[in-house]
Amino acid sequence: MRRTSRDIRTANRYEILRHVITESPVSRPELARLTGLSQATVATLVTELSELGLLVEAGFEDSEGGRPRALLAVAAGRGALVGVDVAETYVHAELFDLSLTVVARADREVRPGENGPEQVVARIADAVDEVLEGHVGRVLGVGVSLPGQVDREGGVSVYAPNWNWHDVPLRALLAERIDLPLHLDNPLHASTVAELWFGAARGRQDAVVVNLGTGVGAGLALGGGLYRGIGNSAGEWGHTTLVLDGRLCHCGNRGCVETYVGAPGIMLNLRELSPGSPLLHPDDQTATVRALAAAAAEGQPVAVKAVQETARYLGAGIADLVNLLNPEVIVLSSWVTTCLGELLLDETRAAVARHALRHSLAGAEIVLSPVPTDPVCLGAATFALEQALAPAPRRTP
C-alpha cells in the first residue's frame, strides 16, 4: 500500500501547517529542521499554504549576520474549524480559529435511553448550530469523534458497544443537518493527535494515550505519528482481556479491561466493596464518579479503597501496554481521569510498577493529560483541517 504523490503532498502540507500552528512564529529554516523536509520543499509548501490564505508573515528574526529571516504564523482568523466530542453521556462542540484556539463552546447531554442515531444526530447538530451562531467567515470543516469503531472513509459508525450501534451511516445522517465537510473518527485517535500537537506526546517518538470514560481505549502514537491499524480500529485496549472469564462486557467477551476501569466498571468496583454506598447514583455514572472523587479526596476509606482497586486493574492493564509497546510516555485522559486526578495517578503508577517489566518501564513516564481544553474536540478539529489541506480531489466514478 504505497502512498501516492498526492497523499505525500497533503501530508507535507499538514506537517508544515502543524508546526506553524504549534511553534508560531517560526522561520522557514526552522520548519525544515522540524519536519526533516528540504528547504526547497518547505519554501514551495509555504507558498502554497500562503496562497490558500492559511499562513502569513509575522515579523523577522536576526540570522547571525545574514538577511533577517521572515517568521511565519497561521492566519488565525482566515478560517474556522469545528470539533465535536460525542461521548456516551454528552456532546461537546467547540469552534476553533486556525491557530486552534477555542472561540465558542456548546454542550448537550445524552441521557440514558436517548442514544438512538436520530437522537444523537440531533444533539450534535444542535451543538454545532450553537457554536456557529453569529460566526462570520469560512468554516473549513467539522470533525466529529464518535465512541467505538469508525470507518473514516465511509463515514460510518461501525460499532459503538455502549450504545449497541452497528454500521450506522452517521455522516450521511449528519449531512442532512450540517452543510459543511464532515469527518468522522473516534476519541482515541482524536485525543492522541491533541497530545501529539499540544500535549504530553509532543516531540515524543512512541506514546500511548489512555482514555478513561464510559468506554476506555488507548490511542497509539508510534514513530511520531498516529497509528490507526489496517481498518482504523487500532487502540481497542478496553476490549483486551485482563481477567479471563471475568466480568461480562458489552462486546460479548468476558474480563475486558473496560469492565474494570470504565465508569460503569468503577461503579461496580465500588458496589462490590460497599453495596449500599451513598456514593452510588444508579443510572448516573457521572454523578457517581464525581461523588467518589470528592469522597476519596476527603479520605473516606471506602472511596479510597475503590480508587485503589480501580488503579490495581488500571495498573495491570497499563503494564500490558508498557510491556507490549515500550513507549516513552503514557498519558491519562478523558473525563474519568479528570475527576479522579492525582489520586488515581499515584495509585496507578504504583500498580504499573508492580506489574511491568523493569526495563520496559524504565524509559516511560505516566502523566495526566496537560491539554487544557477538551482534547477530543481539538483532535477532531485537526482531522477537519487535515482533510481541508488535500489538493482538490479527482473524484473517481
- The residues that touch a copy of itself, with contacts defined as CB under 8 A, are 1-3, 33, 36, 149, 158-159, 205-206, 218, 220, 222-223, 227-237, 239-244, 246, 251, 253, 313, 316-317, 319-320, 323-328, 354-355, 357-360, 362-364
Max Cα distance, the chain (Å): 74
Q: Which three cell numbers stand for residue 306?
A: 475503590
CA 223 vs. chain centroid, Å, equals 18
Cβ closest to a copy of itself, residue 230 vs residue 392: 230
Q: How far is residue 288 from each of residues 268, 284, 306, 325, measured CA to CA in Å? A: 11, 6, 12, 33
Cβ closest to a copy of itself, residue 21 vs residue 319: 319
Query: Residue 315 Cβ, how far from a copy of itself at the closest point, in Å?
Result: 10
Query: Residue 4 Cβ, how far from a copy of itself at the closest point, in Å?
Result: 10
Reported as type and span, the H/E element at residue 155 is: none
Query: Residue 321 Cβ, how far from a copy of itself at the closest point, in Å?
Result: 8
Cβ closest to a copy of itself, residue 78 vs residue 227: 227
341 contact partners, CB below 8 Å, separation of at least 6:
293, 368
Query: Residue 15 Cβ, how far from a copy of itself at the closest point, in Å?
Result: 13
Query: Residue 12 Cβ, how far from a copy of itself at the closest point, in Å?
Result: 14
Query: Residue 296 Cβ, how far from a copy of itself at the closest point, in Å?
Result: 22
Per-position b or e across 313-340, b if 16+ CB within 10 A of its CB: bbbbbbbbbbeebbbbbbbbbbbbbbbb
Cβ closest to a copy of itself, residue 314 vs residue 378: 314
| Nearest alpha carbon to residue 159 among 172, 170, 175 | 170
Q: What is the DSSP string of 335-383?
A: HHHHHHHHHHHHHHHHHHHHHS-HHHHHT-EEEE---SS-HHHHHHHHH
Residue type, 263: A
Query: Residue 229 Cβ, how far from a copy of itself at the closest point, in Å?
Result: 3
Cβ closest to a copy of itself, residue 173 vs residue 364: 364
Query: Residue 19 Cβ, how far from a copy of itself at the closest point, in Å?
Result: 12
Cβ closest to a copy of itself, residue 269 vs residue 277: 269
Reported as type and span, the H/E element at residue 111 is: none
From CA 146, how far away is CA 163, in angstroms rounded?
11
Cβ closest to a copy of itself, residue 40 vs residue 392: 40
Cβ closest to a copy of itself, residue 139 vs residue 210: 210
Cβ closest to a copy of itself, residue 73 vs residue 220: 220
Cβ closest to a copy of itself, residue 231 vs residue 391: 231
Q: How far is residue 242 from each of residues 162, 249, 275, 316, 375, measured CA to CA in Å? A: 19, 12, 23, 8, 27
Do the beta carbons of residue 177 and residue 211 sit within 8 Å? no
Per-position b or e across 284-296, b if 16+ CB within 10 A of its CB: bbbebbbbbbebb
Q: Which three cell numbers stand for residue 38?
A: 528540504
Query: Residue 107 Cβ, how far from a copy of itself at the closest point, in Å?
Result: 30
Q: How far is residue 165 from each of residues 53, 147, 225, 363, measured CA to CA in Å? A: 40, 10, 29, 39
Query: Residue 18 Cβ, how far from a copy of itself at the closest point, in Å?
Result: 15
